[in-house]
Structure 1
Amino acid sequence: MKEMTANEIRDSFKKFFESKGHVIVPSAPMVIKDDPTLMFTNAGMNQWKDIILGTKEPEPRRRADSQKCLRVSGKHNDLEEVGHDTYHHTMFEMLGNWSFGDYFKENAIDYAWEYLVDVLKLNPADLYVTVFEGSPSEGIARDDEAAQYWLKHLPADHIIDGNKHDNFWEMGETGPCGPCSEIHVDSRSAEEKAKTPGRELVNKDNPQVIEIWNIVFMQFQRKSDGSLEPLSMNVIDTGMGFERLVRMLQGKNSNYDTDIFQPTIKEIERLSGKKYGFTTPSGENGEARNEQEKIDIAMRVVADHMRAVAFSIADSQLPGNAKAGYVIRRILRRAVRYAYTFLDQKEAFIYKLLNTFIHEMGNAYPELTAQRELIARVIKEEEDSFLRTLEKGINLLTNAMDEMKAQGKTELNGKEAFRLFDTYGFPLDLTELICREHGFSVDEKQFEEEMEQQKARARNAAVVENGDWVVLKEGEQEFVGYDYTEHECRILRYRKVTQKKNTFFELVLDHTPFYGEMGGQVGDQGVLVNEEETIDIVDTKRENNQSIHIVKQLPKNAEADFMACVDTDKRDASAANHTATHLLDYALKQVLGEHCEQKGSYVSADTLRFDFSHFQKVTDEELRQVERIVNDMIRQDLPRGEYRDTPLEQAKEMGAVALFGEKYGDKVRVISFGPSCEFCGGIHATSTGRIGFFKIISESSVAAGIRRVEALTGKHCEETLYALEDTVRDLKAMFNNAKDLKGVIEKYIQEHDAMKKEMEIFRQQTVVRFANRLVERAETVNGVKVVKAVLPVEPASAKDIVFKVREAIPEKLVCVLGSTHENKPLLSIMLSDDMVKDHEMNAGKIIREAAKLIKGGGGGQPHYAQAGGKDVEGVTAAVDKAIELANL
């Protein structure tokens, strides 16, 4: 059989399950936006979580896909392993097939066997399976049913009992769970198989006897007391690691040797001028022992991380400083660091790999092709930024090593290493590498202590304790918020939540008009009310396809009937702003072009924010055109068109705009206002006239290729207009009610600029005069020119003066200048290079001691340092102390 390519293998999986009545669904976005328990999709089942939990109807009941996943946080954190072995990845694909209340164990096992043996032509003799051995303490018997079905295909000695750790899957401490059956393949040589039976190596970490497929039989519900009850609907959930499967079918020793990664690695070779040696680390704990192993690790890291970041950006998650954005930035910076250190790439180059990568993956994932330019721009900007950080960190580290050398130390303080990491993003292993090259070590223990303290602070700040759900009434929630702002309801369940010593409660209602925060639109506020009491709902979140209502206290009688009432003032204002973002999206495309894709939004009652792809600053005239289009649509009072439960393909045919990075079901809701037509599940105004007026207040850059517009609507525009009116009135009063206010202000600015130029000329003349006088008065001590003085000059002039003195006396110079400005003292020290090199003087070290006399501190480079303080009276003494410390 001809060797299959990775794309052919992926397609064969989909075609096979399509032939078995499965609907082939697209991969969900890798970045999860509306589930507070997860940042990234880390398993194939994530997108079906609401179905498995029973909060969404399972139609269709048979599905299959190739799901893009990311495992870099929480318990699924493979990041530091990537590159050091042959099989760990940050981003990977998971092939999977599901049945929701349709077929169960027999069909799932038969399908898996047929695909592996009949389609992929694997040798049945090389296959082993595991089944759950049972758990007597929980009253769970061995999974004899699965074992019997496997006996149709395999001899008994190829069926192995597995323990709870390996063969019982659980969603969490509570919720759906069940036994699972793993399929393992023995790809060793015939000689090795003859020596040791494959069954003895299953789940023993042998690299040639590996699990390729896991079939989960969800049939139980784990309750909060730990007991199990039958699940209302049996679920089949299977997962097969795509990269691992390709490696096995292509007969490679490493996932990185397959055609998934080799085209990218070859491009890295071409760009870097280095060769990939197909090595794996030979040292302990996956550490490289020679230069080739280091190069190979770096190439694997770059190839893996580049695709993880590319997929994230395609799913609208940009690198950033918080949450998911920080994780993506950390992945990219790790790749840059390896390329910088081991591939000698001192300029951005990872973005240059995208064309090769997208050529291979673009057909399977068209979002990569559509977003190619944006992905490249974002990656390049991030590379450039971090490379500047690396240079800055190297300079700081060089200064620190100079000081250590002067003090006779050989170990870098762990606190200093952590400061480099925390403030400048300078990784510990690079700090250690540079220190080692210069004969220094790093206090790793102290670094780890600092890191742990920071983690503890973060944990204490962010820890959220969720209690168990208390079920008052069985049933599922119905959202009625599109049609009602008030509705009768009962509480289905509630739980207690504690965060930062604050306690609140989360409620799930059987009927709710409250919109849960989603898609950038804030959640509703309001009240639960009956004849006995009123409970404030302070916020509404979205979790597992249902609205979660946040309250500060529980009702006295939680099982009573209530009326759920939305705060309509806030709802209407938020709805108007949301509708305004749709009009803004339409107008931007009209003015700037169809390339403008929404990349994020925030909509509240007070303001709106809209991020979109565009590769240059939007001009004032373009912004004015956008405003005109939006306000014209507002004046037309266009009615809202709403199309619920529209089949996905029909919605696309209507011209509805879909967003990259969003997960859509088989049926969607479409919202239109005249020519604006979008997929949307949010709350909107009944007509555009309800917006009132629209005004852009700022336009800025968020990241490479991403612009942000902030705007106001309705009464908030009025308030801004009144504030602007007050400002203009005040300015007129300041300028004697000048008729040509703009001209008068421009004249004042011109006069001010001219005066500044004259003052700067005078300042520079003063600097030269003082510097010349100090040079003339320099004393000679043991062959060294000593310049010292206290002058009434500002910090900038003090710095210029000592540099002018150094120009006049380039050798054997010790210059100490005290200065005072606005009742603040300053100390400046300048040394000639020979005093630093030959006499091992250090201005930074000297100034730290001398600055104590002005109750201050500072630092700088070995040849120049400055320190500020609080005590003006101590300046003269500080100058004398600095000369004394020079030890002439």
Structure 2
Amino acid sequence: MKWTGVNDLREAFLKFYESKGHLILPSFGLIPKDDNSLLLINSGMAPMKNYFLGIKTPPRKRVTTCQKCIRTPDIERVGKTARHGTYFEMLGNFSFGDYFKHEATAWAWEFLTQVLEIPKDRLYISIFESDDEAYDIWTKEIGIDPSHMVRLGRDDNFWEIGSGPCGPCSEIYFDRGEEYGCGKPDCAPGCDCDRYMEIWNLVFSQFDSDGNGNYTPLEHPNIDTGMGLERLACVMQGVDNLFEVDTVQNIMKHISRIAGVEYKTNEKSDVSLRVITDHIRSTTFMIGDGIVPQNEGRGYVLRRLLRRAARHGRLLGIKEPFLYQVAETVIQENQPAYPELLENKDYIISIIKAEEERFAKTIDQGMSMLNDLIDRIASQEIASGKVLSGAEAFKLYDTFGFPLDLTMEIAGERGVSVDEDQFAKFMNDQRERARAARAAMGDLGWEGDVLQGIPGNTEFVGYTDKTCTAKVAAIIKDGALADEIDEGESGIIVLDRTCFYGEGGGQVGDSGILFGANSTFQVLDTKKSVNSHFMHIGEMKAGMIRVGDELTAEIDSLRRDSIMRNHSACHLLQAALREVLGTHVHQSGSYVDENLCRFDFSHFSAMTSDEIARVENIVNDMILAALPVTVETMSQDEAKAKGAMALFGEKYGDAVRVVDMGGRSIELCGGTHVDNTSRVGLFKIVKESSIAAGVRRIEAVTGRGVLGLIDADRHLMDMACEALKVGSHAELPGKAAAVAAELKAKDKEIEEINGKLASMQTQALANTAVEVGSVKLVYASLNGIKPDILRKITDRFRDTDPSIVAVFSTTLDGKASIAASCGKSAVEDGVHAGQLVKEICSLVGGSGGGRPDSAMGGASDIFKIDEAFVQIPSLVEKMLGSHKRRS
């Protein structure tokens, strides 16, 4: 067999199956679509689950892909072994009710032995123990020697996840040679040793499982195969593991150059090199598919990987951000198959660099805290084991962004474990509010299952029509299908056609009414199910509606017009942002309703007031230019040639809808829009803020929203005029400046009066001083004065007598403050104002501290202050005594 690079292997596989009538589909994004069961795509078949389940129709019955995948269950083992990785590519060929076992086995064997020329005697086959059909095909049709066949049990060779399509598997193994084996006479595929490496799994989905052990043969069985590209490359390149194949090794070499270390010279540095190599591959592809670092979900996975890689960079002696440099090599090595990486290179590198810099600001402080905690725990003799509490681990996560696995890894190196259960409790408590908020929004996750048996998709005519006639296809009440819905009931009505837009692409669903001769249903919201049924959610206001009834659907036109203005403004806004800030700007999310245009985008610093003004002016200029808005449906290639912007990380079908606003903004979009930019009316940015590292948010209003904003501002100015007693808005600035100057003068006057009061208090209290050793002690409760005046009084004592120790308290509005000051010689004799305040506050349920000569604190139990103040002389005497003993 001939040495073959990763990129050539990928191309050879796809072209081979194309020659067998398969449609080559580009890799789906790593973010699952219409599948809440997965955080990230983790196999070749995962993004095509709905094809296998019959929920969606595949573009062709024969499909082949090379799918990007992320798996993180073994993340803590990545680097420690050469086998484990989080990112990989899976080659696969799929049949949706077309060919079955005969073709799947024949083509797999042909590809391996004829295209790649792998010696037949190096290949072994495993089958499910009772799958005699597969055994006969392999031995009698393909010609496999029975000595190269192995029957394995359900755990190894039967694919099943819950209910649904399932079936036996047949796996193809490569014999790496006796030197990799365990030496046992029965060593064969399925053995735990390293000799037989599984390279391809052929899944024969021929049954429908009810999840309770009952299997019904499928009328049209399916084929789902998966072969790891990197694992195949190991075979073709004669290397031991994925870190030594060409494209991956080139990434590692870049890291080695930066760190000044070589691979396979030191096991400790090898671990770090493997961790960084794997994680930078994963993170580059994740960001390329639109994932950004966050503290939950897939964004948290990304953050974990980046921070774990950054930490291992420090272990190699790399102090400055460097991962963004290595990402360039990842892009370069993979751009032949994934040209979008090169197109989004600036964005990907910017996100990685921003996260590295963000982590660098906290890692030193967090590491210091963690090391202190570990030192304390490691030094203790604890019979039950040395454990870092979940509370402390959570604080490291919440404050410094330390992922739990990073804390566990660092602690584990010192023989300290982490209380994961307690950490999980803190995490769950933190998420409870978010869960409650989501629950308040309702859960429509069940509709897809309820509607699965309803034939046909809803025909959408709402791009051109705001009213239409339709037939009721289904009714849902209380989570189940129903035949009718009566007056006063809430539910969901599904029509065979509709003018109501179903929530999607950041645009909210339409509202309006459905009505018949004697019935009215108020639509409060519209959503789409996973199989494209439009769900009209609302309340039955009059009469009764039955399945099969003819209705008239009419949307709230005024609301739809406002929504369209805001949606079109979002497109203009993105064009303006890219013009002002740069082409690294990509949409990270959006939300448009009748009141608001909210746009999230990639950028790494707060926008200046000048940048905001420039963006706002550009959008308004495009509105005033009255640019025509045209919508066309075309192929992806045509849209790309036209310069259309796509939602970052989104994957589209063969035919796409392109919205062109006079050539200034060209985007792929399924939403509704105005037909001319002039109809947006006006555009005003009301807020610019940060929502995540490297992601900014702009909130803006259009049309009547701007008029409402103007009216609100005018009302505020009218109120200000009335309060300041001026006749016109033009007089406001001068009057406001005059009032501010007057208040400043009064503040100065009050400060002078307070100073005189403090002086008077000082003179009166000086007569109460008592001798305590070498110092003069003055202490008293001065209730009703402000804390800042209290401090002025204590500091005045300090400045008038070097031997003085002054301690005073005040209670104001139910809160108590304690202040202390010490003269120079009192400090030299051992009295410490900060320590004194701290000890007094501890007696009254508070806290405080400060410098040796001046300190402040607060108290929660104000009724114990008098009792605590009685102890002040003994506290001062104790400090003086301790100082003498040390001297």
Q: TM-score band, normalised by the shorter chain?
A: 0.7 to 0.9
For 2:352, the aligned partner's letter is: I
Normalised to the residue count of structure 1, the TM-score between the two structures is 0.80
Displacement of 1:273 in angstroms is 4.1
Specify which of 650, 655, 666 is matched with residue 638 of structure 2. Answer: 650
Partner of 1:42: 42
Q: How far apart, CA to CA, are the structure 2 residues paired with 1:515 and 1:820?
A: 61
Displacement of 1:881 in angstroms is 5.1
Specify which of 383, 390, 394 is matched with residue 363 of structure 2. Answer: 390
Matches within 5 A, 1:115-126: 115-126=111-122
Partner of 1:159: 149
Q: How far apart, CA to CA, are the structure 1 residues paired with 2:139 and 2:776?
A: 92
Partner of 2:458: 478
Q: How far apart, CA to CA, are the structure 1 residues paired with 2:868 and 2:583?
A: 65
Q: How far apart, CA to CA, are the structure 2 residues paired with 1:637 and 1:751?
A: 50
Displacement of 1:678 in angstroms is 2.0
Displacement of 1:257 in angstroms is 2.9
- When residues 753 and 668 of structure 1 are mapped into structure 2, their CA distance, relative to the original with a 3 A threshold, is farther
1:523 paired to 2:514: no
1:365 paired to 2:338: yes
Partner of 1:610, secondary structure, is strand
For 2:659, the aligned partner's letter is: I
Displacement of 1:725 in angstroms is 0.9
Contact 2:834 2:850 in 1 (8 A): yes
Pick 1 or 2: higher relative contact order, CA cutoff 8 A, min separation 6.
Answer: 1
Partner of 1:261, secondary structure, is helix
- When residues 688 and 257 of structure 1 are mapped into structure 2, their CA distance, relative to the original with a 3 A threshold, is same
- When residues 436 and 662 of structure 1 are mapped into structure 2, their CA distance, relative to the original with a 3 A threshold, is closer
Specify which of 649, 665, 668 is matched with residue 661 of structure 1. Answer: 649
For 2:815, the aligned partner's letter is: K
Partner of 1:725: 714
Map Cα deviations across residues 254-282 of structure 1 (whole Å, 9 max, x no partner).
3223334333333333333455447xxxx
Displacement of 1:196 in angstroms is 3.8
Matches within 5 A, 1:121-520: 121-133=117-129, 142=131, 144-145=133-134, 147-149=136-138, 151-153=140-142, 154-170=144-160, 173-189=162-178, 192=181, 196=185, 200-202=188-190, 204-222=191-209, 228-229=215-216, 231=218, 233-277=220-264, 293-340=267-314, 342-394=315-367, 414-427=390-403, 444=419, 447=422, 450-451=425-426, 454=429, 466=446, 469-470=449-450, 474-481=454-461, 482-484=463-465, 485-491=467-473, 510-520=496-506
For 1:65, the aligned partner's letter is: T
Partner of 1:9: 9
Displacement of 1:477 in angstroms is 1.7
- When residues 711 and 448 of structure 1 are mapped into structure 2, their CA distance, relative to the original with a 3 A threshold, is closer
Map Cα deviations across residues 85-137 of structure 1 (whole Å, 9 max, x no partner).
22222222112223334433222222211222222222222222233345xxx
Partner of 1:380, secondary structure, is helix
Displacement of 1:355 in angstroms is 2.6
Contact 1:627 1:694 in 2 (8 A): yes
Q: How many aligned residue pairs are there? A: 848
Contact 1:143 1:179 in 2 (8 A): no
Q: How far apart, CA to CA, are the structure 2 residues paired with 1:105 and 1:350?
A: 45
Q: How far apart, CA to CA, are the structure 2 residues paired with 1:884 and 1:275?
A: 66
Partner of 1:546, secondary structure, is coil
Partner of 1:304, secondary structure, is helix
Q: How far apart, CA to CA, are the structure 1 residues paired with 2:136 and 2:776?
A: 92
- When residues 475 and 3 of structure 1 are mapped into structure 2, their CA distance, relative to the original with a 3 A threshold, is same
- When residues 395 and 249 of structure 1 are mapped into structure 2, their CA distance, relative to the original with a 3 A threshold, is same
Normalised to the residue count of structure 2, the TM-score between the two structures is 0.80
For 2:649, the aligned partner's letter is: G
RMSD: 5.1
Contact 2:471 2:548 in 1 (8 A): no
Identical pairs, percent:
37
121-130 or 56-65: bigger deviation: 56-65
Contact 2:777 2:805 in 1 (8 A): yes
Q: How far apart, CA to CA, are the structure 1 residues paired with 2:766 and 2:308?
A: 51
1:112 paired to 2:102: no
Matches within 5 A, 1:599-610: 599-610=588-599
Q: How far apart, CA to CA, are the structure 2 residues paired with 1:852 and 1:337?
A: 40
Contact 2:566 2:592 in 1 (8 A): yes
Displacement of 1:159 in angstroms is 3.0
Contact 1:573 1:604 in 2 (8 A): yes
Q: How far apart, CA to CA, are the structure 2 residues paired with 1:233 and 1:23?
A: 19
For 2:194, the aligned partner's letter is: P
754-763 or 389-398: bigger deviation: 754-763
For 1:305, the aligned partner's letter is: H
Q: How far apart, CA to CA, are the structure 2 residues paired with 1:374 and 1:774?
A: 67
Q: How far apart, CA to CA, are the structure 1 residues paired with 2:97 and 2:652?
A: 22
Q: How far apart, CA to CA, are the structure 2 residues paired with 1:823 and 1:245?
A: 74
For 1:585, the aligned partner's letter is: Q
Map Cα deviations across residues 437-471 of structure 1 (whole Å, 9 max, x no partner).
9x996773774574586499589857978599456
Contact 2:180 2:195 in 1 (8 A): no
- When residues 628 and 747 of structure 1 are mapped into structure 2, their CA distance, relative to the original with a 3 A threshold, is same
Partner of 1:696: 685
Displacement of 1:603 in angstroms is 1.6
734-743 or 392-401: bigger deviation: 392-401
Partner of 1:284: none
1:18 paired to 2:5: no
Contact 1:858 1:866 in 2 (8 A): no
- When residues 192 and 239 of structure 1 are mapped into structure 2, their CA distance, relative to the original with a 3 A threshold, is closer
1:572 paired to 2:548: no
Displacement of 1:726 in angstroms is 1.0
554-563 or 688-697: bigger deviation: 554-563
- When residues 359 and 167 of structure 1 are mapped into structure 2, their CA distance, relative to the original with a 3 A threshold, is same
Displacement of 1:317 in angstroms is 1.8
Partner of 2:485: none
Map Cα deviations across residues 411-448 of structure 1 (whole Å, 9 max, x no partner).
765534443334443455766788899x9967737745
Displacement of 1:305 in angstroms is 1.9
Specify which of 78, 82, 85 is matched with residue 82 of structure 1. Answer: 78
Partner of 1:44, secondary structure, is coil
Contact 2:201 2:226 in 1 (8 A): yes
Displacement of 1:242 in angstroms is 1.9
Partner of 2:95: 99
For 2:46, the aligned partner's letter is: N
Contact 1:167 1:179 in 2 (8 A): yes
Q: How far apart, CA to CA, are the structure 2 residues paired with 1:162 and 1:534?
A: 62
726-735 or 449-458: bigger deviation: 449-458
For 1:609, the aligned partner's letter is: R
Map Cα deviations across residues 341-396 of structure 1 (whole Å, 9 max, x no partner).
x3355543322322332232233322222223322332222223233333443565
Q: How far apart, CA to CA, are the structure 2 residues paired with 1:447 and 1:632?
A: 56
Matches within 5 A, 1:737-776: 737=727, 739-746=730-737
Contact 2:174 2:199 in 1 (8 A): yes
- For structure 2, the 5+ residue unaligned runs are 481-488, 880-887
Contact 1:180 1:214 in 2 (8 A): yes
Partner of 1:869: 859
- When residues 150 and 404 of structure 1 are mapped into structure 2, their CA distance, relative to the original with a 3 A threshold, is closer
Partner of 2:486: none
For 1:727, the aligned partner's letter is: L
For 1:421, the aligned partner's letter is: Y
Contact 1:475 1:510 in 2 (8 A): no
For 2:166, the aligned partner's letter is: C
Larger Rg: 2
- For structure 1, the 5+ residue unaligned runs are 135-141, 279-291
Partner of 1:326, secondary structure, is helix
Partner of 1:182, secondary structure, is strand
- When residues 60 and 454 of structure 1 are mapped into structure 2, their CA distance, relative to the original with a 3 A threshold, is same
Map Cα deviations across residues 622-661 of structure 1 (whole Å, 9 max, x no partner).
54454445445445655542323x2222223333333331
Map Cα deviations across residues 679-719 of structure 1 (whole Å, 9 max, x no partner).
11222334444433322222344556544322112222221
Map Cα deviations across residues 760-813 of structure 1 (whole Å, 9 max, x no partner).
999999999999999999999789998977678766788899999999999x99
Displacement of 1:610 in angstroms is 1.8
